[in-house]
Amino acid sequence: MTEATAPKGVDPTVPSPARIYDAMLGGKDNYESDRRVLGLLSDLYPHAATTARENRAWLGRAVRYLAGEAGVRQFLDIGAGLPTQENVHQVAQAVDPSCRVVYVDNDPVVLAHGQALLAGSQNVAVFEGDLADVDAVLERARETLDFTRPVAVLLSAVLHFFTDDQDPYPLVGRLRDALSPGGHIALSHGTGDIGSDDSKTFTDAYSQRVSSSLFLRDHAQVAAFFDGLEPVEPGIVHAVHWRPEPGTEPRPVEEAPVYAGIGRLV
Ligand SMILES: C[S@@+](CC[C@H](N)C(=O)[O-])C[C@H]1O[C@@H](n2cnc3c(N)ncnc32)[C@H](O)[C@@H]1O
């Protein structure tokens, strides 16, 4: 992606969480400003890219579980990020092509790329929206998804952009209240619970250099997002330990300090 062809409304000189994450995943939808920040962060915390990849791998396993074992056919992915490999609609529609997916992100570059990638995709919508304005997100999502039937809300690596002062818990509560029985919330969240200061060093540096702050939470704080939901086995655990692919050895949690889990509305 070149600075000269930046979509309207996108300032390529200002690093963005979506594009830094894309750079961590080895994607091409990022600018020099994003790669510069990633370089600085990786010097401080060498597992930055691994953390992003492990989070993304968890998301793939979670969506496979939801579309497979849990039988969900509708997905609302908030903080969806830039299209990359193993996008949610590709994973879900590999299980059943009738799966409907709505992608939402507050970064305009995601919308521009999402629309280009999804042109021609069936049962997929993308729009710009802010989780902070959760009612507006739900209203738009209802144009594509039927909330009287089970919907899986995905909040993968997005809630740590909300500080405690911004109180994200009621936002997740609003999403839970919009679900009907059989609906799920799947979320992942950065944590400092790894027995070292490495991830804190990373988040402090990130918050200083990027417009959005990163706010780590411990296990109890992440578990509180699942209030009112029944945890799906194995509960809220380090993402690398959430149903790892059979025959694979999970990475040490220090290399991917992220909690993840799925809750089901009964
Ligand atoms: C780390 S990326 C995660 C992408 C994807 N969910 C994944 O896990 O692979 C976080 C994404 O959340 C988006 N984001 C951050 N704050 C948001 C908000 N308040 N509302 C919607 N999206 C947000 C960012 O633009 C970015 O694309």
30 Cα to the center of ligand 1, angstroms? 15
pLDDT-based confidence at 113, cuts 50/70/90? confident
Q: What is the pLDDT of residue 141?
A: 97
What are 61-79's pLDDT values in tens digits?
999 999 999 999 999 999 9
8 Å CB contact between 102 and 126? yes
Among 217, 133, 235, smallest CA distance to 175 is for 133
* pLDDT for position 129: 97
Token pair for 77: 């992915």
**Side chain identity at residue 40, one-letter code:** L
Provide the pLDDT for residue 251.
95
Q: What Cα–Cα distance (Å) separates residue 26 from each residue in 12, 96, 230?
A: 18, 28, 35
- What 8-state DSSP symbol labels residue 132? G
Copy the structure tokens of residue 187. Answer: 């979320």
**Which domains are present in the chain?**
3-264 (3.40.50.150)
* Residue ranges lining ligand 1, Cβ < 6 Å: 17-18, 21, 55-56, 59, 78-81, 105-107, 110, 130-132, 156-158, 161
CA distances from 64 to 25, 56, 133, 243 (A): 20, 12, 28, 11
pLDDT score, position 205: 82
Whether residue 183 has pLDDT greater than 90: yes
Q: Do residues 92 and 81 make contact, with C-beta atoms less than 8 angstroms apart?
A: no
How far is the C-alpha of 189 from the C-alpha of 191, rounded, in Å?
A: 6
Average pLDDT, rounded, for the chain: 93
Atom 11, ligand 1: which residue's CA is nearest?
79
Tell me the CA–centroid distance for residue 254 and ligand 1, in Å. Answer: 22
Which ligand 1 atom is at minimum distance from the Cα of 56? 9
| Per-residue pLDDT tens over the stretch 220-233 | 999 999 999 999 99
Residue to probe by mutation, ligand 1, list 105, 109, 154, 216, most atoms within 8 Å of CB: 105
Is pLDDT above 80 for 1? no
- Rounded mean pLDDT of 174-195? 95
142 pLDDT tier (thresholds 50, 70, 90) = very high
Range ranked top by mean pLDDT from 37-51, 204-218, 252-266: 252-266
Q: What is the whole-number distance in angstroms between the Cα of residue 247 and the centre of ligand 1?
A: 31
Cα dist. 223→30, 177, 213, 243 in Å? 33, 17, 21, 17
**Percentage of residues in the chain with pLDDT exceeding 70?**
100
Q: What does each C-alpha distance from 15 to 63, 65, 198, 235 come to in angstroms? A: 29, 33, 22, 34
Residue 209 pLDDT: 82
Residue 58 confidence (pLDDT): 98
Q: What is the pLDDT of residue 121?
A: 83
How many angstroms separate the alpha carbon of residue 161 from the centre of ligand 1? 8
For the chain, give the number of residues.
Answer: 266
Q: Which atom of ligand 1 is nearest to the CA of 16?
A: 25
Burial of 246 (0-12, 13-18, 19+ CB in 10 A): exposed
Output the CA 244–ligand 1 centroid distance in Å: 23
Q: How far is CA 248 from CA 31, 100, 238, 244, in A?
A: 34, 30, 15, 7
Mean local confidence (pLDDT), 80-96: 93
pLDDT at 116 over 90: no
The pLDDT, as a whole number, for residue 212 is: 78
